Chains A and B, each alone.
Chain A
Amino acid sequence: MNPTILTLDARLGLDKYEIDEIHSHITVDQERCKTCELKPCLTVCPAHVYQWDDNHVAVRYENCLECGTCQISCDHGGNRGITWHNPQGGFGILLWLMAMRDRLSGW
């Protein structure tokens, strides 16, 4: 077993986030998602932000890595249900190395 292979949750746990508790930077049009055949967002997201839950798309935006793959997939392979904005200034993902930078002076 390769010890560097982690579960997705453990991977996401490596990163630091400044979560905007009030505003989600991702909105979905559930009506569009219901009629979407392929639902590419459920598979392409590297953080598994989108999950099909009881006839609607649940969005765990707080885990978002901010890559934008969902929007590009949705616009062409999906049903244009996703609207993605950049999180407000200073919010969202803060990559680990950045967060721990001060502890890494020996690197």
Chain B
Amino acid sequence: MNVVLIERGQAAGSKNVSGGLLYSKPVHEIFPNFWENAPVERVITTHQIAMLSEGSSVGLDFRSEESAKPAYNAFSVLRARFDPWLAQQAEDAGAAFIPGVTTDALKVENGRVVGIQAGPDEISADVVVIAEGTRSLLLQQAGLREEHHPHDVSLGIKEVITLPEKVIEECFQCGQETGAAYTFVGQTCGIEGGGFLYTHRASLSVGLVVKIDSLYKSKMQPHQVLDVFKSHPLIARLLVGGEAVEYSAQTVHRGGYHLASRRYGNGYVVVGSAARLLLNNIVTLRGMDFAGVSGAQAASAILSARESGGYMAENLAGYAERLKATAIYNDWQLFKDMYPLLENERLFTLYPDLACRTLETLFSPSLQPGTKLLYSLREQMKGKGSMLTLAKDMFQIARGVVL
């Protein structure tokens, strides 16, 4: 089988943006012990989730020695370093890697994808694996997917900030090889979404993922929202002494079980973000491992299709079956109750504020007579929602994450 890998950037990774967290085990199944050769940054052994309110924060800090052992849980990666390695694996396996070529359109004849158009050049193929990312312009042009709705898509923006290794290790209390991943809710100017901060070897990735409709309704520019977020004392302190070296952006489909779209057809399969294979459950945002798994399943399905004598939809249907048998599908079903939560605007401002103020009351003896927790909660909620709303939301959160 002859495989051509077409990349529109000058080199692999020159256009690719991701938060920077790669979940290890699914990738380990494709590339056993990949961490021995691949340019990974740090093994993530600390996970923090924090709710931010103006000037205060409340967080959960999870540390695990277990995730410091092979096959690990997650690595931080820089795509500019990781992707060339990935492209090399494809080349070593016999694929021809062609960078610097933009695919302008899918060639469709008689209801079948038969190749691609790149400028004046045409390349014919038995089967086209579409891995064009969230935007998936080619699929849309060819009428193979419905239009994106700004309600389902978020904008991710991030910066890479350099810091000396020693500073990172002190600041994040980690070893030479280990690091931390932080997830934040709050301080996004009321916009639905959240923030992240990951440690690399000698740099940090810090950024936001905010829903597009919520963003334009806010009338805030994304870099201004990022500034507000980065100015929060908890974040600002982690960035002290750092130097911003890269600014990038990417759209992120929220993915999910209920948004499953058609992922194969006559002469084509769709993988990764273009197939909306992402999972966002606030605590984790997974894309790269899903992309890898879908690519591997697509490859297996194509080989089976070849044996069955063609590459029409019925030959490639095994791809969908294979995806359903992976942990991806399982995780989607597991977290499908998270999705209403991501639309609950109280989660993004009111509750971080509430949590911080309640703890403020708890920790700070005042000159005024004190109150018990439930009473102060009720005081904080005044004019913003009833205690019943609060109870319902807490149940929804519990249902989405725990039950």
Contact = CB atoms under 8 A, between A and B. Distances in A.
Question: Do A and B bind?
Answer: yes
Interface of A: 2-6, 8, 11-12, 14-15, 18, 38, 40, 43-48, 65-69, 71-73, 75-77, 84-90, 92-101, 104, 107
Nearest to B153: A72
Contact of A5 (B8, B79, B100, B227): B227
Contacts, number: 165
Nearest to B83: A98
Given A2-B230, A68-B135, A89-B8, A98 B80 contact: yes
Of listed B79, B212, B216, B236, residue having the most chain A CB within 10 A:
B216
Nearest to B217: A77
A68 B160 CA distance: 20
A46 B249 contact: yes
8 smallest beta-carbon distances between A and B, as pairs? A97-B80, A40-B216, A90-B100, A67-B249, A96-B246, A11-B247, A68-B135, A98-B14
Given A5-B227, A73-B216, A89-B100, A107 B159 contact: no
B201 A76 contact: no
B215 interface: yes
Nearest to A101: B80
Given A11-B244, A88-B119, A94-B14, A44 B215 contact: yes
Contacts of A47: 249
A68 B247 contact: no
14 contacts: A4-B242, A43-B220, A46-B247, A47-B249, A73-B212, A86-B8, A90-B10, A95-B13, A95-B17, A95-B248, A97-B78, A97-B245, A107-B81, A107-B201
A43 B219 contact: yes
B150 interface: yes
B324 interface: no
Contacts of B219: 43
B157 interface: yes
Nearest to A88: B102
A90 B12 CA distance: 11
Contacts of A69: 153, 155, 212, 215, 222, 249, 251
Contacts of B174: none
B239 interface: yes
The size class of the interface chain B forms with chain A is 35 or more
A101 B81 contact: yes
Contacts of A48: 221, 223
Contacts of B135: 68, 71
Contacts of A12: 247
B213 A76 contact: yes
B216 A38 contact: yes
Contacts of A15: 246-248
Contacts of A96: 160, 245-246
A5 B101 CA distance: 35
Contact of B222 (A44, A95, A100, A101): A44
A17 to B, nearest CB: 11
A77 B81 CA distance: 37
Of listed B78, B100, B246, residue having the most chain A CB within 10 A:
B246
